[in-house]
Amino acid sequence: MNFASLFCVRTFKKHEKHFPSDKHASVSYFFYLFWFWVWHPLLPLLTTQALCRTSALQSKTLKLNLHVLFVNGKFCKDPKYVTANDFFFSGLDKPGNTSNRVGSNVTQLNVDKIPGLNTLGISLARIDYAPYGLNPPHTHPRGTEILVVVEGTVEVGFVTSNQQDGSNKLFTKILNKGDVFVFPIGLIHFQFNRGHTNAVAFAAGLSSQNAGVITIANAVFDSDPRINPDVLTKAFQVDKNVIDYLQKQFWVDNNN
């Protein structure tokens, strides 16, 4: 029995003998039953929601580069020392370096680069693609992404979480200049430049001050230390030499 139910029972027993034998007794009795059966089971949910809510409930607080203690992810800067530069970044017009094996570059603008984003629950990124460049399958564990293409033709898609029938549905679209697509929080997604020329897109909104990135291939085949090849052989249903080959590759991190 949790605290709420214990409180309810004790309070009811304490006042039970004082209930008059008229309609007020029925009202009081109904109130206690309503509290016991309806409200107190909801208290843990409401408390958890309040504690875990990701929306910005605090006033603007700026991140400091201290590595001892974390408050709401980052320390808050004394408002007396806040300047306009804490909310500013210059250079997003410059293309990222796509000279890597996947042919893409993600320039992230999160709370680490713009301290004023601390507690605001939003960030963004610029993504540059070489011809046939790929932003490999990845997830953002802490944020939904909305992508807008400003140059080129980009194939995008995300895969649903496991369904009851064991399937995973792919939602995919070909985007051209001015087109927008949304990737729900936590789901595996990708972008692929289908054109002969460079492409540019902006993750115009990520619903977190730092949405995080997990690049699937890097996490699975390039972990430190390596995952037991027997585990991956069984998981991917392939020969062990395939896993050995994949674990020996150089896996590119295209995020900056």
- Binding-site residue set: 135, 138, 140, 145, 189
DSSP string covering 16-79: HTT--SSHHHHHHHHHHHHIIIIIHHHHHHHHHHHHH--S--SPP-------S--STTSPPPPG
Question: Can you name the residues that pair with 199 across neighbouring β-strands?
Answer: 129
Q: Binding site for Mn(2+): residue ranges?
A: 138, 140, 145, 189
Q: Which of 209, 211, 203 is nearest to 125 (CA)?
A: 203
Q: What separation, in Å, do the N-terminal and C-terminal C-alpha atoms of the chain show?
A: 50
The C-alpha atoms of residue 87 and residue 97 are separated, in whole angstroms, by 25
Residue found under tokens 């089971």: 41
The C-alpha atoms of residue 119 and residue 37 are separated, in whole angstroms, by 36
CB 133 within 8 A of CB 100: no
Question: Can you name the residues that pair with 159 across neighbouring β-strands?
Answer: 170
Sheet holding 180-183, edge to edge: 104-109, 123-129, 199-206, 145-151, 180-183
Exposure of 57 in the CB half-sphere (CA atoms within 13 A): 7
Q: Binding site for oxalate: residue ranges?
A: 135, 140, 145
Backbone region of residue 107 per phi and psi (left: phi > 0; alpha: psi in -120 to 50; beta: other values): beta
The C-alpha atoms of residue 130 and residue 112 are separated, in whole angstroms, by 26
